Structure 1
Amino acid sequence: MAERPVTDLPIFKPGVYDLDAEVYHADPVAGGSLSSSGARRLLATCPARFRYELDHPRASTASMDLGTAAHRLVLGVGPELVEVEAKDWRTKAAQDERDEARARGAVPLLSKDFAAVHAMADALRRHELASALLGGPGRAEQTLIWRDGPTAVWRRALVDWLARPEPTGLMYLADYKTSESAHPAAISKAIANYGYHGQGAWYGDGVIALGLAAEVAFFLVVQEKTEPYLVTPVQLNQLALDAGRHENRKALELYARCRATDTWPAYVDGIEPVGLPGWAENRFLQEVTS
């Protein structure tokens, strides 16, 4: 794998940068920036939780390693994959090999998972549409950095595949996801649950702001993590992207307020009145009135 070009850090200017994922996630922007995942996390929790997690990044887990490995094989860039020839992580030898791999920035995988991610990548390459979306003319894992107009907040995005736009100015922008199910109905639920519509709008904003294309069509390429590793490409419709952009705006404004005052509040300031969830209230009312 070719080494990435050296980029002077921190970054002070908008643009497209070729950065390692770990550099991206550590936030390479001078003074700090907001990512799509950060925006979604900020709205899903509270500023205090968001700030804590920025200052205390989560350690890698086996599940995260599997997703990272699949991305590495599908996109062709990323950390070294190390096969640990063991059935599980219970032995000290396996744990030591795992820890040593992580310490040098590699991704350790049990033999069964090592074989699985290679099979996943092979299955995706055989899917004509998916492989075109994630492997046509373009560049893998590119970082977009730009400044938000209304809030002046620096924004960043790590796109899986920055495609070359069509002659019409339209860019087909795809993101690769691994999932338990690639059924379209399950994907629709995942979009709502994990905020992928916000991700699509966020990435599209970056492409447009940097003048990389005149228009963006956003796709998810979803692949199941179990045999036969089925693949489903989906395109997010305009309503979903509009909803995502609305959520993104709320996150940007909240982040800007917190940054301006260096105040990161918890869920509530005082005592919050709390009752039963709606379904439980309805069940109670039905029982007492029937």
Structure 2
Amino acid sequence: MVAEIREMPDKDYFALDAVDQSALKRFMVSPLAYVDYLEHGLDVSSAALSFGTLAHGLVLGTGGEVALKPNLRTKAGKEEMAVLQAKGVTVVSQDDMDLARRMSKMTAPYFQAIPGRGEVAVLADDPVSGLALKGKYDWLPDGPDEDGVLRIRDYKTTADDPRDFPRVAARLGYHIQAAFYMMLYRLTGYEGPIGFEFVVQEKKRPYDFMVWRFSEGCEEVSMASEHIAQALDELAAFKRDSPDGWRQRMAGYGLDKTPKEVTFTSWQIEREYEEMEA
């Protein structure tokens, strides 16, 4: 695959036989988790996925057709729903539509002020493992920021406090996403300074947002890059050693079943004692 940057609908993007950051993070959990992801996708409700599609479309000015959910208690409503689903239309409730519109009023101007394109696919082959890679960027700027760094942007909505994003990022592996996307963009031949930015918006009033950044050389990204390289190497080995049966073979490698001792960090233990003394 020749490295390329192009716009494509989600249906075509997801159909590409290439490794994305979500799949790779599941492989880092276990080969079994990776196979499960390929077969079932992320374990997220359809309502949450629909809202995410709607919010991204309104904020970034992208996305496909969206319609309000019909009344499924009627025959006509059920028939209308079947037609919408067959056409691939994103169906949302009136409440979600109103919420996404209120949220987009806060964040859309931020993205509109950055010359670039939304929902852009980047495709390339990893030169080490040989695996085909893909990523879909929420916002790819036309050029570097004023400080000379080209920052790939990603839009996140959260039910948590946006100030807690570093904790959430560590738990959900957003540093891996950032490292993967920067690595993938490097494969297109870009040689200038590069960074990654999360625009994190709360889903409750006042729908405010914060901007959190990873630089290419920071410790978190360097650590994630090592994990990515190792995971790609191991994934390639599975496919190379079992070209016709790698899925079946990988399905046999789940979580480690060896019994392990429960241990707390020193700060967790100190907090427990402090709470008892209080």
Q: TM-score range by the shorter chain?
A: 0.7 to 0.9
- Quick one: which amino acid aligns to residue 116 of structure 2? G
1:197·1:240 contact (CA, 8 Å) conserved in 2? yes
The percentage of counterpart residues that share the same residue type is: 22
- Quick one: which amino acid aligns to residue 170 of structure 1? V
1:22 shift after superposition: 2.1
Q: CA RMSD in A?
A: 2.7
Instruction: Note the residue ranges of structure 1 that are not aligned, 5 or more in a row.
Output: 1-11, 284-290
Which residue is equivalent to 1:48?
32
Which residue is equivalent to 2:58?
73
* 1:110 pairs with 2:110: no
Matches within 5 A, 1:133-212: 136-166=114-144, 170-184=149-163, 186-212=164-190
Greater mean deviation of Cα atoms: 13-22 or 259-268: 259-268
Measure, in 2, the Cα distance between the counterparts of 1:277 and 1:61: 35
- Quick one: which amino acid aligns to residue 37 of structure 2? E
2:65·2:90 contact (CA, 8 Å) conserved in 1? yes
1:53 shift after superposition: 2.7
Which residue is equivalent to 2:233?
253
* 1:266 pairs with 2:250: no
Deviations 1:141-185 (A, max 9, x none): 11111111221111111111111223886312110011112432x
Measure, in 1, the Cα distance between the counterparts of 2:74 and 2:233: 48
TM-score (norm 2): 0.82
* Equivalent in 95, 101, 107 of residue 124 of structure 1: 107
Greater mean deviation of Cα atoms: 159-168 or 232-241: 159-168
Matches within 5 A, 1:29-40: 32-40=17-25
Count of aligned positions = 256
SS state at 1:229 partner? coil
1:68 shift after superposition: 1.0
Measure, in 2, the Cα distance between the counterparts of 1:63 and 1:95: 21
After superposition, the Cα gap between the structure-2 partners of 1:213 and 1:179, relative to the gap in structure 1 and judged at 3 Å, is: farther
* 1:25 pairs with 2:14: yes
SS state at 1:33 partner? coil
Instruction: Note the residue ranges of structure 2 that are not aligned, 5 or more in a row.
Output: 270-278
